[in-house]
Structure 1
């Protein structure tokens, strides 16, 4: 019986090459790891909804030795809590995302060509144009989509983050083993 095609059989080799070099994966939050909706409770506290599959992907990257950072222009709280739950970095209230990612690269001793960044709107374009692998969710604004090397099939907050995580793990030869074992070794 023939094996089913890999989930990334249609991804161009150039994108897989970029993903194979990733050592730092950064994600904008609103519109990438959430659907972009901003909700508030009766006391004015912000409410965000995250997809469990995206969280699992971030954990798989981290456990595979890839540094993961959430980088958002909005204030923290919920984002910091989600990052803590997943064991990843949170960089909140960031005015210049490219500058922050460059600082992260310097602290890790890596180049921007070893960074993946997922963004969905204008605030992400500068950093997306600088990194080795720029990705946007399927429903990203055109300005971010036009700056991306690759667009996910999934929308923001609906599995787009996991799709990028799986792409990186696949390109680095780790995804099949994770799926076979049900864990990161």
Structure 2
């Protein structure tokens, strides 16, 4: 992934990561069952990246234009700090997050991929996108993942932020030292320290 020194400098300031869903956490596909239920597929590497970011002090939020019980379940499972559904205009939710968490624009990273994301992406300090995003989303992004939405892009961007903040090597070292189940539980517990 190519990046500039400006992207590296801005990543150091990130205190909150806001995510879009369709096309970012998923590949943008929606499967519809016989009874009208919707199905989406999420990438486990993205999930681990979100969990690591949280354990290392980065707050997380989701602002999505659609509503989904499955997404609500996934957000709870990942312990997302703030969750907004059915928000075609994402700016009011973004402003709420800034106020609630006492953040400035430069403290926030946003990963989006399409037109609904542009208004927030142009405000945050660290706008990022996925490889298969619209040209408009790419044009306002400071970092573009090598991966498509739902295919590990979120994880790659989170790793970039954690590396810029000099937190990634401690994560790697913790996982390299796992010998047994007790060690694995200890790594999960201590990763936030």
Q: Same fold (TM over 0.5)?
A: yes
Counterparts of 1:98 and 1:24, CA distance in 2: 15
> Which deviations, in whole Å up to 9, do the C-alpha atoms of 1:131-178 show, x marking residues without a partner?
000001000011111111110011100000101111111111100110
Match of 1:143 among 136, 142, 159: 136
Contact 1:116 1:135 in 2 (8 A): yes
Shift, 1:47, TM fit: 0.2
Q: Any residues of structure 2 matched to 1:19-168 within 5 Å, and which?
A: 19-88=11-80, 89-168=82-161
Q: May I ask how many residue pairs the two structures share in their alignment?
A: 177
Match of 1:15 among 7, 20, 39: 7
Counterparts of 1:102 and 1:112, CA distance in 2: 9
Contact 1:98 1:130 in 2 (8 A): no
Where 2:146 maps in the other structure, the secondary structure is: coil
Contact 1:102 1:112 in 2 (8 A): no
Match of 2:172 among 172, 179, 185: 179
RMSD of Structure 2 on Structure 1 (CA): 1.1
Which moves more between the two structures, 54-63 or 11-20?
11-20
Counterparts of 1:61 and 1:16, CA distance in 2: 16
Counterparts of 1:76 and 1:36, CA distance in 2: 13
> Which deviations, in whole Å up to 9, do the C-alpha atoms of 1:30-66 show, x marking residues without a partner?
0001000111111110100000000000001111111
1:3 maps to none
1:169 aligns with 2:165: no
Gaps of 5+ in 2: 176-186
> Which deviations, in whole Å up to 9, do the C-alpha atoms of 1:66-89 show, x marking residues without a partner?
110111010131111101001113
Counterparts of 1:11 and 1:141, CA distance in 2: 19
Gaps of 5+ in 1: 1-7
Shift, 1:98, TM fit: 2.0
